[in-house]
A and B are shown apart, each in its own frame.
Chain A
Amino acid sequence: MSSDTAGGSPFENVGDDVDRKRTIGKIFVAICFASTLVGIVALVALIADVLYESWGWLSFDFLTYPPSRFAENYLPTGRGAGIYPALIGSILLIALTAVFTMFLGVGAAIYLEEYAPETKLTAFIEANIANLAGVPSIVYGLLGLAMFVRAFQLGTSLIAAALTLTLLILPIVIVSSQEALRAVPDSQRQAAYGLGANKWEVTRDVVLPRAMPGIMTGTILSLSRAIGETAPIIMVGAATSMFVPPVKTTAGVPYPDLFGPFAAMPMQIFDWARLPQAEFQHIAAAGIVVLLSVLLFMNATAIYIRNRYETR
């Protein structure tokens, strides 16, 4: 190495010592690699911790019995206690949220991608969606509390919670649906226009069917985020000690009780985790295993849909 690079070169202060540079480089890679491992080790530790804590407390009865105040009832040898009302509550909550978000999210995405003129209003709506995605979930909880629970008089009900969660995940659903719509090639739209179809017909018969797998994947992934959300449903007022799922029966046909109180899994887990008795830590862990299993199932479904239709 000649010394005539001295002066303007940004690398002068590192010096010409190649061996030293190599050592520094190796140390740097080692540090970066170790940092990468931090996240992965944390994930492994988290999952191992949850499984270890729940060991021996998770049985089939845990899925089919209501919660109990006495820890020994949760043991496989006990009288039976578990997460049943919260599990059913969460599933109904997510199903209801899915209905609302599919309609609103896809509608909004279609408007923004297919219909919206390039005006200031459209730009504002898009910027606003980006900003909404950064609002903490507990603030949505306050919105749900003041608006759906109090102002609209829905009370602490399944429907109030579902509407709150819908608003919470709507920005993510809209953005992912927009991406799916954008991926539909323009030539297909032009071909349909050429056959005399109008905008709505093109959207309904050409664009939507092609974008559907992408939309479904994004929506399911967003819903899997909603099912673990705790803060908003706490503010809306999810019950901590519900012994029956929010289901009513008319003439033997069960249907969800949209306007009644409900329990949900994250709330139930929070309730167990903050109890001082050590046994309830294990029960909370068992609840987390159930929650993560549902989450895993939803994500697997989303990935299956993506891979199934990706190649077409």
Chain B
Amino acid sequence: MSSIDLTSETNSTSHRTSVAVRWVFFGCAFITVLTTLGIIAVLVNGAVNFFFGASVIDRLTGDAWFQQVTFTEFFTGTEWSPIIGDRSYGVLPLLWGTMMIVVGSAIVALPVGTATAIYLSEYADPRVRRTIKPTLEVLAGIPTIVYGFFAISFITPILQRFFPETGTFNAAAGAIVVGIMIIPMVSSLSEDAMSAVPDHLRNAAYGLGATKYEVSTQVVVPAAVSGITAAFILAISRAIGETMAVTLAAGMQPNITMNPFAEIQTMTAYMVQIGTGDVSVGSIGYQSLFAVGITLFAMTLAMNLLSLWVRERYQEEYR
């Protein structure tokens, strides 16, 4: 730091520039904080509009509070039709749709992703790993709209061949395609965790007469379990927020059903429906965007924080 002070005495113009530049860079970094604040403000304000029929400021300065949608109705109602027919605002059908996608995609991605990670970390020789890892990363880089197209043009026809009752839009195709999409996330984060397990643990187990299978499943996986769990949670969070693939594949029909071949609607798909429709600004349909949006945001934020906490709390430190 002293070198800066030396130049600043001889050349105060360049010192002033240096200070100004520092503040510009700080401003750039602070934009990210403003983004978070902006997201929260926009979602909260929109949600207040939805529940109370006016913005936060109007409510604080104007008339008494009245609720146009009660929390009980929103969180426990089983009918979601905010723009047509008999209006009802129960978010449960959308939550149910999202949950079907999450559970389905987890069934696909978690076992496959973990097994992939075990193979890459424990069995594959370095050459194979160098080809397979980038290939899987390509999978992560493909736009989600392309996955949606893949679901309706490839997966749904296959499902229809085996299960003739499958609709054009169905939860199963959406879940499978989201599962494929999050495999690279599960496998690469889990593999990082497994590769971080030090070799002396493996060698100790070999010394006790363990086979490679026993070392992989009873030493490496338990030692890496915090990283693997964190990967699972992040992948599920990603599945909750996934939008275009489920919109195209799973449909636009809010529906509480156990049938994976029926049309459903996720929270994100509902937001796309409003975003592409002719809903006028200020109408309850427009406001409902933000009520659904804040629910989605809260869920993904909770998952991301949980993942961070799991990783930090249960991480094994090796030296």
Q: Which chain A residues have a beta carbon within 8 Å of chain B's beta carbons? A: 1, 5, 9-11, 14, 21-22, 24-25, 28-29, 31-36, 38-40, 42-43, 45-46, 49-50, 53, 103-108, 110-112, 114-116, 124-125, 128-132, 134-143, 145-147, 150, 167, 170-171, 174, 193-194, 196-201, 203, 224-225, 227-231, 234-235, 237, 240, 266, 269-270, 273-274, 281, 284-285, 288, 291-292, 295, 299
**Is the CB–CB distance between A142 and B43 below 8 Å?**
yes
Would A50 and B296 be within 8 Å (CB), given that A5-B208, A35-B119, A128-B32 are in contact? no
Set of chain B residues within 8 Å of A174, measured between Cβ atoms = 29, 32
- Name the residue of chain B whose CB is nearest to the CB of A24: B213
**Is the CB–CB distance between A40 and B132 below 8 Å?**
yes
Instruction: Give B136 Cβ to nearest chain A Cβ, in Å.
Output: 5
**Is the CB–CB distance between A107 and B115 below 8 Å?**
no
Set of chain B residues within 8 Å of A288, measured between Cβ atoms = 145-146, 149
**Is the CB–CB distance between B146 and A138 below 8 Å?**
no
**Is the CB–CB distance between B211 and A230 below 8 Å?**
no
Known: A32-B116, A107-B27. 6 other contacts (CB 8 A): A39-B187, A46-B150, A134-B238, A135-B300, A228-B144, A231-B268
A42's contact among B4, B29, B180, B210, by CB below 8 Å, is which? B180
Listed residue (A25, A42, A112) with the most chain B CB atoms within 10 angstroms of its CB: A42
A200's contact among B17, B36, B240, by CB below 8 Å, is which? B17
Would A171 and B296 be within 8 Å (CB), given that A32-B115, A147-B42 are in contact? no
Assess whether B70 is interfacial by the CB under 8 Å rule: no
Q: Mark B199-213, 1 if CB is under 8 A from A, else 0.
A: 000000000111111
From B56-64, B74-82, B99-107, B269-277, the one touching the partner chain is B269-277
Listed residue (B115, B296, B303, B305) with the most chain A CB atoms within 10 angstroms of its CB: B115
**Is the CB–CB distance between B153 and A49 below 8 Å?**
yes
Set of chain A residues within 8 Å of B26, measured between Cβ atoms = 111, 115-116
Interface size of B in residues (CB-CB distance below 8 Å): 98
Set of chain A residues within 8 Å of B45, measured between Cβ atoms = 146
- Name the residue of chain A whose CB is nearest to the CB of B24: A107
Set of chain B residues within 8 Å of A28, measured between Cβ atoms = 213, 216-217
Instruction: Give B203 Cβ to nearest chain A Cβ, in Å.
Output: 15
Instruction: Give B276 Cβ to nearest chain A Cβ, in Å.
Output: 6
**Is the CB–CB distance between A39 and B268 below 8 Å?**
no
B139's contact among A39, A140, A201, A229, by CB below 8 Å, is which? A39
Instruction: Give A19 Cβ to nearest chain B Cβ, in Å.
Output: 11
**Is the CB–CB distance between B184 and A35 below 8 Å?**
no
- What is the CA–CA distance of A112 and B6 in the complex, to the nearest angstrom? 24
Would A131 and B304 be within 8 Å (CB), given that A32-B116, A138-B272, A228-B145 are in contact? yes
- What is the CA–CA distance of A107 and B146 in the complex, to the nearest angstrom? 33
* SS of A interface (majority): helix
From B7-15, B87-95, B256-264, the one touching the partner chain is B7-15
**Is the CB–CB distance between B293 and A139 below 8 Å?**
yes
Would A198 and B241 be within 8 Å (CB), given that A31-B115, A35-B115, A299-B141 are in contact? no
Instruction: Give A231 Cβ to nearest chain B Cβ, in Å.
Output: 4
Set of chain A residues within 8 Å of B25, measured between Cβ atoms = 107-108, 110-111, 114-115
Set of chain B residues within 8 Å of A24, measured between Cβ atoms = 211, 213
Would A273 and B35 be within 8 Å (CB), given that A103-B28, A110-B25, A201-B14 are in contact? no
**Is the CB–CB distance between B293 and A196 below 8 Å?**
no
- What is the CA–CA distance of A295 and B289 in the complex, to the nearest angstrom? 31
Assess whether B84 is interfacial by the CB under 8 Å rule: no
Set of chain B residues within 8 Å of A106, measured between Cβ atoms = 28
The 7 closest A-B pairs by CB, nearest first: A136-B241, A228-B143, A107-B28, A35-B115, A111-B25, A32-B119, A25-B213
Set of chain A residues within 8 Å of B180, measured between Cβ atoms = 38-39, 42
Set of chain A residues within 8 Å of B276, measured between Cβ atoms = 234, 240
**Is the CB–CB distance between A134 and B234 below 8 Å?**
yes
Set of chain A residues within 8 Å of B211, measured between Cβ atoms = 14, 21-22, 24-25
Set of chain B residues within 8 Å of A43, measured between Cβ atoms = 135-136, 138-139, 142
Would A266 and B42 be within 8 Å (CB), given that A108-B32, A132-B36, A139-B297 are in contact? no
Set of chain B residues within 8 Å of A194, measured between Cβ atoms = 3
**Is the CB–CB distance between A32 and B149 below 8 Å?**
no
A33's contact among B6, B119, B305, by CB below 8 Å, is which? B119
- What is the CA–CA distance of A128 and B33 in the complex, to the nearest angstrom? 7
**Is the CB–CB distance between B248 and A273 below 8 Å?**
yes
- What is the CA–CA distance of A229 and B214 in the complex, to the nearest angstrom? 43
**Is the CB–CB distance between B210 and A11 below 8 Å?**
yes
Listed residue (B27, B132, B211, B243) with the most chain A CB atoms within 10 angstroms of its CB: B243
- What is the CA–CA distance of A198 and B143 in the complex, to the nearest angstrom? 44
**Is the CB–CB distance between A235 and B271 below 8 Å?**
yes
Set of chain B residues within 8 Å of A269, measured between Cβ atoms = 145, 149
- What is the CA–CA distance of A26 and B102 in the complex, to the nearest angstrom? 32
Set of chain B residues within 8 Å of A107, measured between Cβ atoms = 24-25, 27-29
